[in-house]
Amino acid sequence: MSTMPGVRVVPVGRRRLLLGGAIAALVVLPLIPGVLATGSIADLVRIPVESIVTLLVLALIPWRMLRLAVATAFGVFVALAVLLASIDRGYQAALGIHFVPLDWPQLGDAYGVLASAIGAAPATALFAGAVALVVTVGAAVGWGSLHVDAALRQRGDRGRGALAAVTVAWIAMAAVASPLRIPDPVAAAASATSLGTAVSRAVSALETRARVAREVADDPFSDVPATDLLNALEGKDVLFVFVESYGRVALEGDGISDGVNDVLRRGDRTLAADGFTTRSAWLTSPTFGGVSWLAHATLQTGVWVDSQAVYDLVVRTDRLTLSSAFGRAGWRTVSDVPSNRHPWDVGSSFYRYDTMLDATNVGYLGPSFGYARIPDQYTLKHFADHVLADSDRPVMAEIDLVSSHTPWAPLPELVPWNDVGDGSIYDAQPDRGEQASEVWKDPEAVQRSYGRSVEYSLGSVLSFLDNVDDPNLVVVLLGDHQPAAIVSGEEAGRDVPVSVIARDPAVIDAIADWRWTAGLRPADASPVWRMDAFRDRFFATYGSVG
C-alpha cells in the first residue's frame, strides 16, 4: 500500500485504541463529580448528557479553531466540576458541611492541617498530585471531544447517524425514567449538577449574608452602657477558655470517654477542695471538625456564624462582642491564641483586645508539638505569670487551647506546674508520643490519640485552677466543635460541653435558673443551647438589663 510522502499512517489497531480511550474519557470523566457526591461507583454506569451536547455542538461547527475552543471549554468545565466535587467531599468528611465557593480562603488552613497530620512534603506532593489529576481530567475530556468528533466526521453520514442514534436513545430513556420515577441508567449531568450546586450554594450564602447583616444591626444590647451589661462581675477575672475539638463524643464515645470522664471526676474533687463551684451544660456549635474561629465568633457576638462568608461579614461590623463589652466596662482584655504565628488584625479591629498573645510573643523555647506547637500547660502558666499576676485591673481573656487540635499527635505530657519554665523541660520528652504519620494509619489509633489529647488539655486547665490563687477567678470552659467524622462518626451532632467555674458562690447562684448540672460533666438531660444564645443570656444574667 502506498501513501503520500510526509503523511503519517496510524495503524488500525492503534486508531481503534485511541478512539476507545476518547469515548471512555467522554463517558466516564464527566461522571466523576456524581460519584464523589454520592460515594457510589454505580454512578459511572451512565451516559453524561454534557458529552452528547458537546459532540452535537462540535458537529455543527465548520471551523477547526472554534471546535478547539469549544472542546477546551468543555474540558475546563469538567475539570472545574471535579475540583469542586472533590473539595466538597473533603469538607463533608472533615467538617460535616458542604463547600461554598465563597469560603475559598479556608483552603489554606485546610492545607496547614493536612501538613501537620502527614508532614509538609507528603502534603505538598498530595496537593500537586491532585492539581495534576484535575488538569489531566480536563485535558483528557477536551482531547476526547475532538478525537471522537474527528472520527464521526471521517465516517460522514454513518458518523452523523451514529451520533443521532445515541442522542435519540438518550432522550427516550430519559423520557421513560422520569415519569416512572426509576433510577435513570443513561441520563446524567453530574458535572453540570456539580457546578450548578456550587453556584446555588454561593447564591444561598449571599442571601444568608443579607439576613445576617440585618441580624447584626438588630442588637438589643448595642446601646446599653457596658457597665450595665457586666456589673455583677465587677472585680472578677473572667476567662473564656476554648478547648479545641472538645465535643460530646469526648464524654460519650466508645474507647474515648472513659479516660476523659476520669479526668473530669478527679477535677470535680480537686475544684471542690480548692473552693470552686461548677455548673455545666451543652452548647450546639455552628461548625464541625474544624474552622474553630466560627464558634469563637458565634459565642462572642450572639450571631450564628456558620461559614467563612458570614464570618467575613460580621467582623467588618461594629457588633458588640463579649470582649469589647468587657473592655468598655474597664477590664483589660486579652486574647491568647498560641496557634497564631502572624498578625491578627481582627483581634484589634473587631474584638478590640488590649493585648494579643500568640506563638511569637510568649517566650516558648521548647520543642514543637506539630500543629499545636505550644503545649496548653505552658500557655496557661505563661498567662498566669505574665497576665493575671501583672495586671493592675481585672482581666477578661479568651484563651484558645490547641493541644487537642487535629492531628492529635504528637502530644506533650503534664509536668509539675512550677517546672514549666520557658518550655525547655519538654525536651526531656524526646519521643513526645506517637507521631501523626503513624497514628493516622489506623482510625482506632486516631480515636485513642484524640481522647488522650482532650485528657491532656483538660488536665492543663485543672493544673492552672489548682495553682492560681485568685479568689476572683471565673472561668467559662467549653469546646469549640466536635472532632472530625473519623472520631465523631458520620451522623454525629454538634453539641459541645460548657462549664462555668467560680470561687465566688454568687457567680454560680446567678445562673441558678439556667438549670445547668453540678460538676464538670454535663448530664445527658442538661440544657442544650445554640452557641449564639450564650452572649445574650450572659449579659442578661450578669448585668442589670435582664
Q: Please enumerate in sequence order all residues whose Cβ is within 8 A of that of 94, keeping only pairs 6 or more positions apart, or say none.
A: 110, 289, 290, 484, 485
Pick the range with the lowest mean pLDDT from 7-16, 204-213, 421-430: 7-16
Cα dist. 92→37, 133, 428, 436 in Å? 10, 21, 39, 22
Strand partners of residue 47: 187
Q: What is the mean pLDDT of residues 238-246?
A: 97
Q: Can you give the pLDDT at residue 111?
A: 60
Q: What is the mean pLDDT of the chain?
A: 83
Considering Cα of 342, then 343, then 347, then 353, what sign does the dihedral take? Answer: positive
pLDDT range class, residue 203, cuts 50, 70, 90: low
Cα dist. 425→338, 377, 385, 395, 416 in Å? 18, 12, 17, 28, 10
Cβ atoms of 329 and 230 within 8 Å: the answer is yes
pTM beyond 0.95: the answer is no
**Whole-number Å distance between alpha carbons of 477 and 107:** 29
Q: What is the mean pLDDT of residues 339-350?
A: 92
Name the 3-class secondary structure at 484: coil
Q: Can you give the pLDDT at residue 235?
A: 95
Q: What is the mean pLDDT of residues 253-275?
A: 95
Residue 351 above 50 pLDDT? Answer: yes
Residue 342 CB burial class (10 angstroms; 0-12, 13-18, ≥19): exposed
Q: Can you give the pLDDT at residue 312?
A: 86
Q: Can you give the pLDDT at residue 182?
A: 47
Considering only CA atoms, which of 234, 323, 218 is closest in space to residue 542?
Answer: 234
Cα dist. 273→252, 268, 284, 428, 501 in Å? 27, 9, 31, 32, 13
Name the 3-class secondary structure at 335: strand
Q: Can you give the pLDDT at residue 193?
A: 67
Residue 462 above 80 pLDDT? Answer: yes
For residues 146 and 437, which has the higher predicted lDDT (pLDDT)?
146
Q: Can you give the pLDDT at residue 183?
A: 47
Pick the range with the lowest mean pLDDT from 132-136, 429-433, 458-462, 503-507: 429-433
Q: Please enumerate in sequence order all residues whose Cβ is within 8 A of that of 300, keeping only pairs 6 or more positions apart, or say none.
A: 321, 322, 323, 351, 398, 535
Q: Can you give the pLDDT at residue 1?
A: 44
Give the Cα-Cα-Cα angle 539, 544, 545 (nearest 5 degrees): 65
**Whole-number Å distance between alpha carbons of 252 and 22:** 52
For residues 379 and 150, which has the higher predicted lDDT (pLDDT)?
379
For residues 316 and 129, which has the higher predicted lDDT (pLDDT)?
316
- 397 phi, psi to nearest 5 deg: -145, 145
Cβ atoms of 280 and 503 within 8 Å: the answer is no
Pick the range with the lowest mean pLDDT from 388-402, 409-423, 427-441, 531-545: 427-441
CA atoms within 13 A on the CB side of 117: 21
For residues 91 and 304, which has the higher predicted lDDT (pLDDT)?
304
For residues 534 and 59, which has the higher predicted lDDT (pLDDT)?
534
For residues 360 and 128, which has the higher predicted lDDT (pLDDT)?
360
Residue 315 above 70 pLDDT? Answer: yes
pLDDT range class, residue 483, cuts 50, 70, 90: very high
In tens, the pLDDT along 363-412 reads: 999 998 877 789 999 999 999 999 999 888 999 999 999 999 988 888 89
pLDDT range class, residue 475, cuts 50, 70, 90: very high
Cβ atoms within 10 Å, residue 345 = 9
**Whole-number Å distance between alpha carbons of 132 and 370:** 28
Q: What is the mean pLDDT of residues 205-233?
A: 81
Residue 529 CB burial class (10 angstroms; 0-12, 13-18, ≥19): middle
pLDDT range class, residue 83, cuts 50, 70, 90: confident
Pick the range with the lowest mean pLDDT from 129-143, 355-369, 514-528, 531-545: 129-143
Q: Can you give the pLDDT at residue 440?
A: 74
Name the 3-class secondary structure at 318: coil
Q: Can you give the pLDDT at residue 402?
A: 94
pLDDT range class, residue 4, cuts 50, 70, 90: very low
Interaxial angle between packed helices 12-28 and 120-154, expressed in degrees from 0 to 180 and rounded to the nearest 10 = 120
Q: Please enumerate in sequence order all residues whose Cβ is within 8 A of that of 141, keeping only pairs 6 or more positions apart, or say none.
A: 25, 26, 29, 30, 74, 75, 78, 79
Residue 471 CB burial class (10 angstroms; 0-12, 13-18, ≥19): exposed
Q: Can you give the pLDDT at residue 404?
A: 94
**Which DSSP category does 25 fall into?**
H
Considering only CA atoms, which of 317, 321, 316, 362 is closest in space to residue 339?
Answer: 362
Q: Can you give the pLDDT at residue 190?
A: 61
Residue 256 above 90 pLDDT? Answer: yes
Pick the range with the lowest mean pLDDT from 173-187, 280-294, 366-380: 173-187
**Whole-number Å distance between alpha carbons of 221 and 129:** 51
Q: Scan for cell 454561593, then name that residue.
A: 202
Q: Can you give the pLDDT at residue 86?
A: 76
Give the Cα-Cα-Cα angle 10, 13, 17 (nearest 5 degrees): 95
The highest-confidence range among 236-245, 361-370, 490-499, by mean pLDDT, is 236-245
Q: Can you give the pLDDT at residue 438?
A: 74
